[in-house]
Structure 1
Amino acid sequence: MLTVEQPNHTTAEYNHTVEHEIARLAAGYFNTPVQVVKKQKLNSNARIHAARVWLQTPQGKELRCIAKYLSEDYFFDPQQQTKAITFANEILSYRFLMNIRNRFAAWPLLYHYNQRILLIEDLGANDPQIPDNLWQEVADVFVNLHTATHQQHAQYQALLSTNDQHNCQHLKTVQQHAFTQARDLLSEYIEVLDHQNYHTFIQLTQQVLHDLNQPGHFHAFIHDDLVDGRQSILRDGKIYLLDFEHGKFGHALMDIATLLIGKMERHLDSNVMIYNHLQAPLTLPEQYRQRWQHNMQLAIDDQHWDQHLASCLIFQAFTTLYSRKMQAEKIFTHSLAQMLGQVLTRLLQCLQGNSAYPQLQAILGNLVGKIVV
């Protein structure tokens, strides 16, 4: 097979090319020539960089935008670019959101893009004061996103290229693989500590996965990654969503589950894995439910609500337990058993009063009691 060797590029050439392309794309949106006068780095991602960019027109007018662009290792190589799946998915997400902006506009406007640079609106800094109704605002922004996109799946599908279809399937496969791997990991503990419930555990977790894939009225476009403050901004008392790298059509309540359960992440200073969540109140699902029913003009009974919410919470907890970062790093602040205990304890807190999967809740509660020191 004939391969074309990519020429080597210096860091200076990379930086110059990035700034040149940012200026070219921005000029296309603003309809005037511009040059980059300043860049402020906003993240530490090794694959996708984000920066606040100051631009200047020939008349001296200053403009601003946010630029996301591939790192030096990926920027010049078309084959490597195809591996930046979340970057391509974020571009797809913004393209879709542009089509429904008259329905839902709580996100930064898409300015321009190509396969290695994305330019979006700079929404500025967070409000200095946190409102008393913050979590209602969070619930509202998700209700508005989900109800605005509930019947827009065909419009989303129409945007998909062959590569987009592959990326969407890949992201879904990764999540479901993480779920099944976490189930297998937990089953090893259960086989030893609670052997009589081993087969019941396997069957019930399969039911969770089945229920998650039957969202019904909850089928909508989801952000699927609001797990810390970096993915949103508070502006004029309203929540705006950022970073749609994992945006997709799926079960709407996954956005509530990610908020409640959280994720594993690497602590930048100590390079260890820690479990983190936003301390979202356990009343958040009911706040969402009331507003969702009002917007959808649809009432859902307690049994079905509990089933939908529980399946999403359990799925999120399991995928958090077996995230690819967690498996790649294998460096933890505590033992693996303690880490499992932290996530499962949070899951059981979120499931308090939920009538769905009572056997599974009991099995997980029993397991936590035996592995947490």
Structure 2
Amino acid sequence: MDDAADLAARFNRVRARSRALAAPLSPEDAQVQSMDDCSPAKWHLAHTTWFFERFVLAERDGYTPFDSDFDFLFNSYYQSVGTMHARPHRGLVTRPTLSRVLEYRDAIDARMRERLGRDDLDTHARQVLLLGTHHEQQHQELLLTDIKHAFWCNPLRPAYRDDLPVAAGRDTPVDWIESGERIVEVGAPAWPQASAFAYDNESPRHRVLVPAHALASRPVSNAEYRAFIEDGGYRNAALWMSEGFSRIQRDGWARPLYWDEDLQREFTLGGMRDIDPHAPVCHISYFEADAYARWAGARLPTEFEWESAASGHAVEGHFADDTGGLHPRAATAGRGLRQLFGDVWEWTSSAYMPYPGFRPLPGSLGEYNGKFMCGQWVLRGGSCATPPAHVRASYRNFFYPPDRWQFSGLRLARDLSDRTR
């Protein structure tokens, strides 16, 4: 992205995609906040705009902000740049209106394009702009997952889009792909010193010992997870982490989020639909993924087992493009590891911690990842709501163990007793 024209093209493409994702939403849709962890679509549109204004445009002396109140309203968690409106109350910000937020986007886009057109960004500003486009792609996924939760909370269960295709899957057997004990390199070279973009939490690249293990060839399917439910999996305390079992008792969990009680239908971004038994199960917490793995006589893979396997595969799968249906699809027939990328984020057994020698980005942007390395777990691979070309083998997503509103599923792993295999 050293070339200004390439950077401008990426900026325009990402910004246009956010508008397209929000296009099916009414002003009322864009306002709603269904739980503390979600944000209104209007807020996502504004916050991603604020990022470019605050960290690129406003870095120049004498800059006049579009609206001085927006620095408080649309800051997310950057304590070093000022105070912010409380996250659980973002849905109460009825003003500015959606039309005003879109006006804000248009104005900041024009200012950014003017700077790009004049090649008036130094090296640091270009790096922040590139980071900002990846940041916005993360919010594109959140916009989809958050509006899905909001529409599910609506008793009418409306569809985000009525034209999303439905793909019928077929059963494919699970194979176990074995790997011997070995030392592997994981992570990404630190950006921006390295030319390829990666978040700071993916670096530095380092060596780890991966024990002998086997990975399932595909993620766990809906039918397989249904068998766990029907076998009393949610009632068997022996399968669960103590905190997880307390959570399912307290909140009445008995199935994945968005499944009906009859275990036959689920809520999707296309509305209520029959569950495809062969598609990957999704919208489960770390606690549920871990309990299922224990029930199946297996375990969750570590993030390093996952990455060492994925590093040899092309980043291909069902992502958030216009043909994927915005819902996980069944694996296709084949040999070896499948669906490592796209469809569902895969929970790992790895806590979200810094790599040896981790250094956050300098300045305020150092708050982006590092300060959240506490009490969360790593997911890998991307989902059907992830923008295409946004993920890579080293990409580390992270959520809290009870979180279920993301497109999160699981792949099983097993230890190998013969460590020479």
The alignment's TM-score, normalised by the length of structure 2, stands at 0.25
The alignment's TM-score, normalised by the length of structure 1, stands at 0.27
**Larger strand proportion of the pair:** 1
Query: Which is bigger in relative contact order (C-alpha 8 A, separation at least 6)?
Result: 2
